[in-house]
């Protein structure tokens, strides 16, 4: 089959590989119909995630048709079209029982802090991902969800990560009616978080980025007040001025360790790897939120450590809430939102490409060329 193949930082190519096999009675094999590239993949692509091995296939946002199921998968049959949550979760461990499907304890030997994630380095379990014609889906009797009749596949594939992650970012913000919410990052996740902030009753939504076409999209789609940080000298001061000097009720970090905006942080975190990526967004979030406010983090950082103004977290009485999105927990509600037209996921998709063009797709998304917001690969034709 054809599959994306990681060769080293900034290098991915389409390559012939053996088709995946069933390794466990709860496995299924899925023929992939849609597979996105995510901002999370960029951390891998940029070489920031430890234990990213040459030869791995990335891809944790995909849907597809069940080809084959293991002996213990009773609820799926070949031919079913499913969307596959990006978390690999057993559904029965201590954490899954509590709905923490992003934190399953039975899916990742290489780390305890990280759950199992498709195509996300060995630090997330060493699974080949869905940027391929076929993918192995563990715990297939638990994770995959039948795509509802009539749902567009482009909507379905965004329900595997982007919509739940944006939604959970807003949910973790504990937004109360009338709250002022600042979202850092106007990538797919930040855009979705800002959209969902309204569903929780936000009174004002501000989105910060430095890529104008994305800000413009966010201003219409979310909708939101948008600001380019390249034109802002001091972020905390700016947010204070926007909020009668008190600060925002909720700040959401939808950027993570690949953040731009501070040369020093870029040097320390991204070049020298002395920090787990650049934590400038988190720095801004902590210093821009109100006393007693909430900082919600879905942006991904590496496993080592980051410089953040911890003293201010204490002195301001800030609550920090963070996690990998628990996709399966949120799907029923989010499917309702999509069907009711309250969320329009596929509007984020700007590029549809065949898997053969995966090298260019990564470049387009990473370098933000051609007004790219969300690229989707069609590994089995149709693009």
Ligand X SMILES: NC(=O)c1ccc[n+]([C@@H]2O[C@H](COP(=O)([O-])OP(=O)(O)OC[C@H]3O[C@@H](n4cnc5c(N)ncnc54)[C@H](O)[C@@H]3O)[C@@H](O)[C@H]2O)c1
Contact string 296-315 vs other proteins (x = CB under 8 A): ------xxxx----------
Choose the contact partner of 185 out of Zn ion, ligand X, other proteins, none; CB within 5 to 8 A by kind: ligand X
Choose the contact partner of 228 out of ligand X, Zn ion, other proteins, none; CB within 5 to 8 A by kind: none
360 binds other proteins (CB under 8 A): yes
Which residue number, 100 or 308, has a Cβ lying nearer to Zn ion? 100
Task: Specify whether the CB–CB gap between 50 and 121 falls below 8 A.
Answer: yes
Q: 183 forms bridges with which residues in the sheet?
A: 207, 252
Nearest CA to 61 out of 4, 114, 18, 123 is that of 4
User: Residue 75: phi, psi to the nearest 5?
Assistant: -100, 0
223 binds other proteins (CB under 8 A): no
Which residue number, 36 or 286, has a Cβ lying nearer to Zn ion? 36
CB of residue 228 to ligand X, shortest distance in Å: 9
Q: Which residues of 13-42 are buried (b: 16+ CB within 10 A; e: fewer)?
A: ebbebeebebeeebbbbbbbbbbbbbbbbb
97 binds other proteins (CB under 8 A): yes
CB of residue 187 to Zn ion, shortest distance in Å: 10
Which residue number, 238 or 362, has a Cβ lying nearer to other proteins? 362
CA 12 to chain CA mean position, Å:
20
359 binds other proteins (CB under 8 A): yes
Q: 82 forms bridges with which residues in the sheet?
A: 64, 146
Task: Specify whether the CB–CB gap between 61 and 38 falls below 8 A.
Answer: yes
Task: Specify whether the CB–CB gap between 174 and 195 falls below 8 A.
Answer: no
Interface positions with ligand X (CB under 6 A): 38-40, 42-43, 161, 165, 184-190, 208-211, 214, 229, 254-256, 259-261, 280-281, 298-300, 324-325
57 binds other proteins (CB under 8 A): yes
Helix (H, G, I), strand (E, B) or coil at 57: coil
As a whole number of angstroms, the distance between CA 206 and CA 197 comes to 10
CB of residue 78 to ligand X, shortest distance in Å: 30
- Enumerate binding residues for Zn ion (CB under 5 A): 38, 40, 61, 89-90, 93, 96, 104, 106, 161
């Amino acid at each position: 089959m054809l599959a994306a193949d990681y060769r080293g930082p900034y290098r991915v190519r389409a390559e012939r590989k053996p088709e995946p096999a069933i390794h466990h009675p709860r496995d299924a094999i899925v023929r992939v119909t849609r597979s996105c590239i995510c901002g999370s993949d960029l951390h891998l692509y940029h070489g920031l995630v430890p234990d990213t091995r040459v030869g791995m296939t990335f891809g944790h946002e995909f849907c597809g048709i069940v080809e084959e199921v293991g002996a213990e998968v009773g609820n799926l049959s070949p031919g079913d079209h499913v969307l596959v949550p990006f978390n690999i979760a057993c559904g029965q461990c201590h954490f899954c029982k509590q709905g923490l499907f992003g934190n399953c304890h039975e899916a990742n030997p290489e780390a305890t802090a990280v759950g199992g994630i498709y195509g996300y380095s060995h630090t997330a379990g060493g699974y080949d991902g869905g940027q391929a014609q076929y993918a192995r889906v563990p715990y297939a009797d638990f994770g995959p969800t039948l795509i509802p009749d009539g749902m567009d596949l482009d909507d379905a594939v965004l329900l595997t990560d982007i919509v739940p992650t944006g939604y959970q970012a807003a949910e973790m913000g504990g937004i109360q009616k009338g709250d002022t919410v600042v979202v850092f990052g106007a990538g797919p996740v930040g855009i979705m978080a800002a959209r969902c902030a309204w569903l929780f009753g936000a009174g004002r939504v501000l989105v910060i980025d430095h890529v104008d076409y994305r800000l413009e999209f966010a201003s219409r789609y979310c909708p939101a007040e948008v600001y380019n940080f390249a034109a802002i000298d001091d972020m905390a001061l700016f947010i204070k001025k926007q909020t009668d000097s008190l600060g925002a009720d909720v700040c959401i970090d939808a950027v993570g360790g690949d953040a731009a905006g501070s040369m020093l942080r870029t040097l320390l975190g991204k070049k020298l790897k002395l920090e787990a990526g650049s934590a400038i967004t988190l720095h801004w979030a902590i210093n821009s939120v109100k006393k007693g406010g909430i900082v919600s983090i879905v942006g991904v950082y590496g496993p080592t450590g980051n410089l953040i103004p911890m003293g201010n977290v204490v002195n301001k009485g800030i609550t920090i809430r963070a996690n990998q999105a628990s996709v399966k927990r949120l799907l029923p509600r989010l499917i309702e939102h999509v069907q009711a037209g309250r969320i329009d996921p596929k509007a984020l998709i700007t590029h549809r490409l065949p898997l053969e063009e995966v090298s260019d797709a990564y470049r387009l998304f990473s370098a933000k060329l051609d007004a790219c917001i969300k690229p989707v690969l069609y590994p089995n034709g149709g693009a």
